[in-house]
Amino acid sequence: MDFLNNFQLNSLMFLIPSLFMFCCGVYGFLTRRNMIAMLISLELMLNAVDMNFVVFNRFLCPAQMDGMFFTLFAIAIAAAETAVAIAIIINAYRIAKDIDVKDLTKMKF
């Protein structure tokens, strides 16, 4: 069991998953047609970013707590964003009877 002792955490172990998360979010945002699903992918992206901050703070500059605080605020902001977005989407649904993003393309060119 000593491999646990000399097992070293390094930032990449967290960065790669977070980037992967981010990419998943982008992918989902670009491909899903359901706006709620798009919103979820956005959350994914934001969380990936938060993770980045935490990781950088923990591994690179543990002296200050900038990253941590940033993450806290970011989470709050994300929540607010979701709230507003949901509200708007619901309104849109009331009028368009539809939450397929491809149908909200009346204004173009």
Partner 1 sequence: MDYSQFLAMKQEIGLLIVFLLVFLYDLFAPRYAVAGTDKKAVKGISMLATVLFAVFTAYGFCCSVTDNAQSVFGGMYSTTPVVATIKNILNIGVLIVLIQSMQWNASEAQATRRAEFYELLFITLFGMYLMISARHFLLFVIGLESASLPLAAMVAFDKNKYESHEAAVKYILTAVFSSAIFMLGLSFVYGLAGSLYFDKIAAAALQDSGLLIVAMAFVMAGIGFKLSLVPFHLWTADVYQGAPTSVTSYLSVISKGATAFAFMVVMVQVFGQFYSDAWEWMLYALIIATITIGNLFAIRQRNMKRFLAFSSVSQAGYIMLGVIGANEMSLAAMMFYILVYIFSNLAAFGVIQAIENKTGLVGMDSYRGLHKTNPRLAFAMMLAMFSLAGIPPFAGFFSKFFIFTGALNQGSVAMYVLVLIALINTIVSLYYYLLVVKAMYIAPEECEIANFKSACSERLALVVTVGGIILLGIVSVVYNSILTMTSSPL
Partner 2 sequence: MEATLPLLILVLPLLMFLFLGLFGKFMSHKWAGIIGTAGMGVTMILAYYTAYLYFFSGNFVEDGTRVQYIVFNQDWLSLWGNLVIKLGFLLDPISALMLVVITTISFMVHLYSNGYMRDHHGVWETGFQRFYAFLSLFSFSMLGLVVATNIFQMYIFWELVGASSYLLIGFYYTKPSAVSASKKAFIVTRFADLGFLIGILILSFTTGTFDFMSLTSTPLAGVENTYIVDAATATTALETGAGQMFLGGSLMTWALVLIFMGGMGKSAMMPLHIWLPDAMEGPTPVSALIHAATMVVAGVYLVARLFPLFMINDDLGGAALDIVTVVGALTAFYAAVVACTQLDIKRVLAFSTISQIAFMMVSLGVSRPEVHDNLGYMASMFHLFTHAMFKALLFLGAGALIHAVGSNDYTAMHGLRKRMPITHITFLVGCLAIAGIIPFSGFFSKDEILTACFGNSIIAYVWMSMVAGLTAFYMFRLYYLIFWWKEHKVHEGHHAPKDQPWTMTLPLVILAIVATFAGFVPFGDLVTWNGHPHHGGINWMIASISLCVALLAIGLATIMYRKENPLPERMRHLFPNLWTWARNRFYFDELYMFITHKIIFNSICKPIAWFDRHVIDGTMDAFASVTNKASYAIRGLQSGNVQSYVWVYLIGAIVLGGGTVAVIFLFF
Residue ranges binding partner 2 (CB under 8 A) = 26, 29-31, 38, 101-102, 104-109
Amino acid present at 19 = L
Helices then strands (H, E): number in the chain? 4, 0
Amino acid present at 59 = F
d(CA 86, CA 44): 16
DSSP label of 34: B
Question: Cβ of residue 31: shortest distance to partner 1, in angstroms?
Answer: 14
Strand ranges (E), 26-103:
none
Q: What would the x/- binding string for partner 1 be over residues 10 to 39, using CB under 8 A?
A: ------------x--x---x-----x--xx
Q: Please give the residue ranges that form the binding site for partner 1 (CB under 8 A).
A: 22, 25, 29, 35, 38-39, 42, 45-46, 48-49, 52-53, 56-57, 60-61, 64, 66-67, 69-70, 73-74, 77, 80-81, 84-85, 87-89, 91-92, 95-96, 101, 104-109
